[in-house]
């Protein structure tokens, strides 16, 4: 049995998302596509998430004390409402 050396570490996408959410300016609208682009940049294109996954991370972020709300359901826009920071 062979072992494969130098495998890349698994990226914790939720932590990357939460750090990005914490860095958002309060009151500025964003879309899940912007978060997905940030994840691709941080991971070097190795991790590609979908907008439904980002929405799930937003729900988890809110359960842990964050406050991101949906500002436009038809356009898929969200807005951060206060300065609460959440640690993943």
Q: What is the pLDDT of residues 17-30, one digit of tens each?
A: 999 999 999 999 99
30-82 pLDDT, tens digit per residue, is 999 999 999 999 988 888 888 899 999 999 999 999 999 999 988 899 999 98
Supply the DSSP symbol for 23. Answer: T
Split into its structural domains, the chain has a count of 1
> So what's the pLDDT on residue 45?
87
> So what's the pLDDT on residue 7?
45
**Residue 72: inside a domain, yes or no?**
yes
**Residue 51: inside a domain, yes or no?**
yes
How far is 35 from 41, CA to CA, in rounded Å?
Answer: 10
> So what's the pLDDT on residue 1?
46
For the full predicted model, state whether its pTM sits above 0.95: no
Q: Compute the radius of gyration of the chain from its Cα atoms.
A: 15
List the domain range (segments joined by +) for residue 39.
Answer: 13-80
> So what's the pLDDT on residue 22?
94
**Residue 19: inside a domain, yes or no?**
yes
Q: Is pLDDT above 60 for 8? A: no
How far is 78 from 55, CA to CA, in rounded Å?
Answer: 10
Beta strands (DSSP E) in the chain are: 29-30, 68-72, 77-80
What are the residues whose beta carbons fall under 8 Å from the beta carbon of 47, sequence distance 6 or more?
11, 13, 39, 40
């Amino acid at each position: 049995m062979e072992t494969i050396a130098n495998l890349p570490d698994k990226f914790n996408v939720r932590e990357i998302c939460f750090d990005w959410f914490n860095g958002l300016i309060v009151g500025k609208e964003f879309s899940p596509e912007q978060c997905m682009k940030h994840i691709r940049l941080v991971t070097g294109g190795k991790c590609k998430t979908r907008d439904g996954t980002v929405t799930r991370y937003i729900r988890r972020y809110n359960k842990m004390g964050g406050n991101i709300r949906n500002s436009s359901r038809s356009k898929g826009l969200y807005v951060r409402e206060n300065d609460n920071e959440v640690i993943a």
